[in-house]
Amino acid sequence: MSDPELAPFAPPSGSSPIPVPVPVPVSVPVPERRGGYLWALIAGAIILTTVIVGGVVWSAWTLAQHVVAEGLLPLADDVVSEDDEDDEDVPVLRTVYPVELRVEDCFDSRGMDFDAESYTIDIVACANPHTSDVYADVTLPEGEFPGDRALDLLAEDYCTEELDALEAYYGGDMEVSAWWYWPLEESWTFDADRVITCVAETDYEFIEGPLYYPGILDEMTSYAALRPGDCFDSDEQEPSGASAVLVPVRPCERFHLSEAFAQVPLPSEEFPGDARKELLGDEACRAEYERLGLGAGDGTLVVGSISPGRDQWGRSSFDVVACYVESSETLLQGSIVDGSQV
């Protein structure tokens, strides 16, 4: 989670549940599992088979899972057949529940019983033999639970698009599968879990080395260098130096949370404190949003701002407030500034 002193505009992460004093069950129930295979063939034909399996729901760890075969294997240093694998012990870096998976985690999904009452995942170094990589995740906006079917479809669109972007960058010559977790209503409501997590899998062939380096697709940019029409994920802001903020800029045709629409000058005053400067920044950006005529719409867009911290306040390279919009309900696709929003 970002330090609020360093990145005051970063929203709280929903990637991990907040512990609360509740009776400890004998075992943590497994997430509900939903499986479907979408085979992308070279000839362009598509065969679709859907399987739905019910599971046990518990608020702290409730997720849903969907499976879709898609993509190519571009980066792995070596592919090891299952027959060649000698089953020697691979050091485990940490053991997690599915809700705790992070981008660039690697693990072996063979033998995982998704229908079990509970399960954990052993994370290993990507240089060791494994079958599965976490290649993308996104924290959805706060708001009412959008519904299980809507999240399933959004997760499918997001994860397949992110995989397509990685394939286009890296290329490759082997099929892999992609599947994902998304929060169900209990975890969304009670645990503030709003994370979609995407996993790429090698169809049970072992590989050594990562499938992808996901971060290479986004360009980390100073908030002060954001220009109107730059799209980024506001929940992935990173501190740079003492209190400056970097944001990952991506093409607007890919799913994103936020889009910059203007820069406004910093107030000519001493640093007003974090709370006051956030209020001033948001007020200035809302006024600029209306002035530019971007205020018309369905009411789901929220204006936000990013400004420097105390150490950068008033410096020539950090003398602006970056203004952006994001949806209060879902991910954005296309540009609001140039009118290409989907």
What pLDDT digit, counting tens, does each position of 56-100 carry? 222 223 344 444 433 334 455 555 544 444 456 889 999 999 889
Each domain of the chain, given as residue ranges in start order, spans: 33-215, 218-327
Pairing of strands 63-72, 132-139: unpaired
User: Residue 312: pLDDT band by 50, 70, 90 thresholds?
Assistant: confident
Task: Look at residue 241 in the predicted model and tell me its pLDDT.
Answer: 61
Q: Where are the beta strands (DSSP E) in the chain?
A: 33-40, 46-53, 63-72, 78-80, 92-96, 106-107, 121-124, 132-139, 175-183, 195-201, 206-208, 219-222, 231-232, 238-240, 244-250, 258-265, 301-306, 320-327
Q: Which residue has the tokens 């093409």?
A: 251
CA dist 89 and 66 (Å) reads 29
Q: Which one-letter amino acid corresponds to residue 214?
A: P
Higher pLDDT among residues 169 and 49, named by residue: 169
Residues 6+ apart with CB under 8 A from 123: 92, 93, 94, 95, 96, 105, 106, 107
Cα distances from 228 to residues 7, 161, 243, 282, in angstroms, run 21, 24, 23, 16
Instruction: Centre a 10 Å sphere on the Cβ of residue 20 and count the other Cβ atoms it contains.
Output: 9
Q: How far is Cα 228 from Cα 336, in angstroms, rounded to an integer?
A: 10
The pLDDT tens digits for 286-306 are 999 999 888 655 678 899 999
Would the pLDDT of 6 be above 50?
A: no
Q: Which residue has the higher pLDDT, 155 or 36?
A: 155
13: which residues sit within 8 A by CB, 6+ positions away? 1, 139, 235
Looking at residue 27, its pLDDT comes to 33
217-273 pLDDT, tens digit per residue, is 888 999 999 999 999 988 777 776 656 789 999 999 999 999 999 999 987 778 888
- Judging by beta carbons within 10 Å of its beta carbon (0-12, 13-18, 19+), is residue 302 exposed, middle or buried? middle
Give the confidence band of 131 by pLDDT, cuts at 50, 70, 90: very high
- The alpha-helical segments, DSSP class H, found in 147-265 are 148-170, 185-191
Q: Which residue's structure tokens are 């809507």?
A: 150
